[in-house]
Structure 1
Amino acid sequence: MQLTGRAESSVRPAVPADAADIARVQRVTWRTAYRALLPADALDAWDDDAAATAWRSAVEAPPTPGHGVLVACEGSTVVGFLAHAPAELAPHEPRSPHGPAAELTALLVEPRWGRRGHGSRLLAAAVDLLEPVGVRDLRMWVPEEDRVTSGFLQSAGWAADSWTRGLEADGRTIRERRWHALLAEDGDQA
């Protein structure tokens, strides 16, 4: 039996040639999902070439072995990405009692490709990649107004913790709340 009209979905480590696609996903997602949150001037001044150069550098020469970028694909089309790094401690924050922590610095799926499991596959791939190297605590900062990402993380078993921060962007303060998930010894999220 042959199925038609069904694209293959996958997640893989990003390669330098993905940089322009990652920048495109970021631009489209920010302009669509974050139009009310991010300053309009910053969104309108977006520079695809500069963003692609930055992503190419992140993929080709990550600052540490703990940094990485994964892409979600629908067939051969990059439709989302996840970037991870060693977790940075907030001021006066003790180290995680659970063990080493990693931070998801970006998790975006282009809105037209949403609700097809790409975000879940990216999260699962990050766990599969980070758990074997000893990471036990995953974290992600999410704008408080971003109900979609917060709801997605909550449905994946993540929880908001007590840490918040404010980011300055063109004279506006964007309030963010930190979300986290603990990894069990067998790789399951707890």
Structure 2
Amino acid sequence: MADVSVRAARPDDAAEIGRIQVDTWRTAYAAFVPAAVLDSIDAAGAAEAWSAAVTAPPSPRHHVLVALEQQWRVGFAALGPAEELQPDDPEPATTGTVAAMLVEPRWGRRGHGSRLLAAVVDHARADGLTRLVTWIPEGDEATRTFLESAGWAADGLVRALDTGAGELRELRLHTEIAEATEHIDGR
């Protein structure tokens, strides 16, 4: 059995998180993110942003998590309180956002995404959140299928982002994460 885990990110993880983000976007998002956008991002800039997220999160409810296989960092996730909610969204005070969740493609299909998602839900529940949302590129069928298999669903919201090199359409998915009640004595 492989030595795999998920832990809170540390300051020395930032450079590798940035590299994973850039490499994964360039590989997995090439079909639906304009090439000029992918070419304009660099691992050093991403690492700087992740360093700030890890060392000075905006609140105690913001988390960056790292997936590991043996000594290698293979993916990461970022979670925090939801900031861009709609007026009719339910439970705004207890809704969180998964801002990023990526596993480097060469480490895919080994359960790292599932472990990251479980850790995200554990942290969200510990922070008193009951609902999560995330935005994914409209053409990202792999992420959509993965999240739907874990109980997430599209909620009908779509946004168009101006990338400066074209439009990127994203759809929002959501899930309820309230603790399931146990059935006792067949109830």
- Scaled by the length of structure 1, the TM-score of the pair is 0.89
**Residue type of the partner of 2:130?**
R
2: distance between equivalents of 1:42 and 1:187? 45
The aligned counterpart of 2:38 is 43
**How far apart are residue 117 of structure 1 and its match?**
0.6
Q: Given residue 139 of structure 2, which amino acid in structure 1 is its aligned partner?
A: E
Amino acid at match of 2:157: W
Paired residue for 2:94?
Answer: 100
Of 70, 79, 101, the residue aligned with 1:75 is: 70
Corresponding residue SS for 2:151: coil
Given candidates 138, 147, 152, the residue that maps to 1:158 is 152
Greater Cα offset, 14-23 or 169-178: 169-178
Does residue 62 in structure 1 map to residue 69 in structure 2? no
Q: Deviations over 1:50-70 (max 9, x none)?
A: 111111111000112221100
1:139 aligned partner: 133
**Cα distance, 1:132 vs. partner?**
2.2
Tell me, what secondary structure is at the counterpart of 1:83? strand
Is the CA contact (8 Å cut-off) linking 2:37 and 2:165 kept in structure 1?
Answer: no
- Choose from 166, 179, 182 the match for 2:176: 182
Describe the SS at the equivalent of 2:119. Answer: helix
Aligned residue in 1 for 2:163: 169
What displacement does 1:27 show? 1.1
Distance in structure 2 (CA, Å) of the matches to 1:133 and 1:121: 18
Please give the TM-score of this superposition, normalised by the length of structure 2: 0.91
Cα deviation, residue 168, structure 1? 1.0
Partner of 2:109: 115
Asked if the contact 1:99–1:134 (Cα under 8 Å) also holds between the matched residues in 2, the reply is no
C-alpha separation between the residues in 1 aligned to 2:36 and 2:137? 18
Tell whether the 8 Å contact from 1:9 to 1:74 is kept in structure 2 after alignment: yes
- Cα drift, residue 33 of structure 1: 0.5
CA distance in 2, matches of 1:171, 1:136: 37
Letter in 2 for 1:27: V
**1:81-92 correspondence runs (5 A):** 81-91=76-86
SS in 2 for 1:116: coil
CA distance in 2, matches of 1:99, 1:140: 16
Q: Which residue is equivalent to 1:3? A: none
- Mapped to 1, the partners of 2:83 and 2:15 lie a distance apart of 27
Q: Distance in 1 between matches of 2:72 and 2:97?
A: 26
Please report the RMSD computed on the Cα atoms of aligned residues, expressed in angstroms: 1.8
What percentage of residue pairs aligned between the two structures are identical?
A: 51
> How many pairs were matched up?
182
* Distance in 2 between residues matched to 1:89 and 1:47, nearest whole Å: 26
**Aligned 8 A contact 2:17 2:47 in 1:** yes
